[in-house]
Amino acid sequence: MEHLEELGEFARLHARGQGMSPRHAAEVLARIGNDTPGDPASWAAVWTAEGKVAAARGDLLDACRHYALARFPYHADDDRVLAQRLGVETFDRWRQGRQGIERLEFEHAGGSFACWASGLDEARPRPLLIVMGGIVSVKEQWAPLLPKLRKLGFATVVTELPGVGENTLRYEPGSWRMLTFLMDRLAGRAKVTDTSTLALSFSGHLALRAAAHDPRVSRVLTVGAPVTDFFADESWWPRVPGITADTLRRLTGAATVGELRSLLPEFALTPQELRRVRVPVRYVASSRDEIIPSREQALLRRSVPDVRFKVFDDVHGSPAHLGAMRRWLFSSLLLLRLRGTRGVAAPGAVIPGVPATGSTDHPIDERPRHD
């Protein structure tokens, strides 16, 4: 598949995932002639121009959707850097017209990252919810959910995977520590000892690893997260789309795809780590996922005491089932919170103020669920 054709295929999926109509996405894609920086008919230029049209008519969130696609899959050239900046600035304009959404900036591990947050309150700390997208998803795509999540009783922060958007950290096996750092910094403004993660795709891998090491992570909700086989199974790699491989190379700092393949096995969750994931895991899987092996589901069923799946007949991220996917994830989150389900603490996992043991009243699914 040619580069521009592959970009278009992925863009259609991500446009749908952002709520953009397929007809509009197709109309924009039809005007794109190349991916040459500086050319007015290029990928970034056409999507950016469409974003500016939306901004001019006052639809700032629609402008952000177009800027997110203009910088897709990552901002390496000047045109995509511009689109990335416009997306952040335009969202900032949108949120300043509303109450309760704040911007947070942190320095960590030789880099920096930013968050959009809502519901943080020293006087009345709420349970924390961390929302993070995958290797191409900027935080502005998810931040419009913040007012709703505050009303549901959460202190919520939306941020990005290392290397994505404003996050200048390198994506590496230890990247899960970013979540621990974030909980440390939000202590006092949120109930970080009761932290849920809504972590999609590759950030779901971070959340699972964090749950194995940090007992403050109480729940993991994810969509199409790699676990072990994606990183370690050589036979799967030829199926991985070129854009996915190239984006991972960029985020990890690998010089070549060959170097990336040598690095990826270090990301694989070990059996010991998976046995330490003693919290509820809710996982949306796609039956035609072109990126994540279906064997990851079986591995989680064998290793995690409390795991449930929702399977859609769709490709990675289930973009054609966005509404149903969100309903299942948020209903699962609220149900777990209402039941006070934290899972069973892993042996040796102790943090001040948090019991070292617990219980779970959710059975293990013996097979993927289609309900």
Residue boundaries of the structural domains of the chain: 3-91, 100-339
Mean pLDDT of 323-335: 94
Lowest mean pLDDT among 3-12, 30-39, 57-66: 3-12
Share of the chain above pLDDT 90, in %: 80
Q: Per-residue pLDDT for 345 more than 70?
A: no
Does residue 13 have a pLDDT over 90?
no
Q: What is the pLDDT of residue 342?
A: 61
Mean pLDDT on 125-130: 98
- pLDDT surpassing 90 at residue 52: yes
Averaged pLDDT, 184-189: 97
Given pLDDT bands bounded at 50, 70 and 90, which one contains residue 343?
Answer: low
d(CA 219, CA 100): 25
pLDDT beyond 60 at 1: no
Given the candidates 1.20.1260.10, 3.40.50.1820, 1.10.3720.10, 1.10.10.60, the CATH classification of the domain at 100-339 is 3.40.50.1820
For residue 337, which of 207, 205, 197, 224 has the smallest C-alpha distance? 197
Interval 80-114: pLDDT, tens: 999 999 999 999 999 998 889 999 999 998 899 99
Alpha carbon distance 56, 72 (integer Å): 22
pLDDT score at 354: 33
C-alpha–C-alpha distance, residues 221 and 337, integer Å: 12
